[in-house]
Amino acid sequence: MLEGSVAIITGGTRGIGLEIVRLFKENKAEVILFGSKEETVSKAIAQLKSEGINVNGYYPNLNNYEEVGQIIKEIVVKYGHIDILINNAGISANKKIEDTTSTDFSKIMDLNVNAIFNMTKAVVPFMKENKGGVILNTSSMVSIYGQPSGVGYPASKFAVNGLTKSLARELAPFNIRVNAVAPGVTKTDMISSLPKEQIDPIIQSIPLGRIAEPRDIANAFLFLASDMANYITGNILSVDGAARS
């Protein structure tokens, strides 16, 4: 579905991001993963290599536009073009507001919002030059419903939705589609470590009767990145099993 495409995936070293890397490679894309540290990038690349999957990786500071821009230029020189950008890197939060410092809040907004701006700003000129592209952002179900604590996380994901919808309108004339995927509760390392008594009520609140597998979320990214979605832009696709909490 993605043969001949070059895709960059931030937050690609674990969880949903790593599964997107796998799925995009299965669908013949050339994939470059971004992570936060050299050791996590190296570990992910080694893990994928053990599975017979070869990718390249970088670990730029996504909040440093100059650093991001330089690496994007290097990628274009090496691969010739960038067709797909997946802005998946992010952090969550669950502190009550009285326990959340302004530094905590800024850290969330920096990675969940400002990093998307930097990556997108760096990639768009090359997509325009290539006469098209796809930008996909990772949102969250809490961007729609909020959450009872950790206000910075849903606030950042509301912002992601705003970026997505606005950029879709701005970039549509250049054949650049912009969408977001809003996952529900997904079986990542954090969720898998929770005790059964915490997981069971979560499952009971989901009409489909289970939490998502990373592949469920990756499949949504694959669809939106592919030509099957070539008339879809400006959408926030919920992948949450109809959960409403």
CATH code of the domain containing 211:
3.40.50.720
- pLDDT block averages, 10 residues each, the chain of length 245: 97 97 98 97 98 97 98 98 97 92 96 98 98 97 88 96 98 98 88 75 90 96 98 97 77
Q: Is 153 a catalytic residue?
A: yes
The confidence score (pLDDT) of residue 96 equals 94
**Is residue 222 included in any domain, yes or no?**
yes
- The one-letter amino acid at 212: A
Which pLDDT score is estimated for 225?
A: 98
- Predicted pLDDT of residue 94: 86
Token match 């969330």: residue? 108
Q: What pLDDT does residue 145 have? A: 85
Containing structural domain, residue 21: 6-239
The secondary structure of residue 25, as a DSSP letter, is H
Confirm whether 68 is domain-assigned: yes
* Inside any domain, residue 99: yes
> Cα separation of 202 and 236, whole Å?
23
Catalytic residue among 58, 65, 153, 231: 153
Contacts of 219 (CB under 8 A, 6+ apart): 23
Examine residue 245 and state whether it is found in any structural domain, yes or no. no
- Domain total of the chain: 1
Residue of 171, 186, 168, 147 whose CA lies nearest to 236: 168
Asked if residue 27 belongs to a domain, the reply is yes
| Nearest-angstrom CA–CA distance, 154 and 162 | 12
pTM: 0.95
- Phi and psi dihedrals of 177, rounded to 5? -95, 140
In this structure, is residue 1 part of a structural domain? no
Residue 198 lies in a domain: yes
Q: What confidence score (pLDDT) does residue 241 get?
A: 94
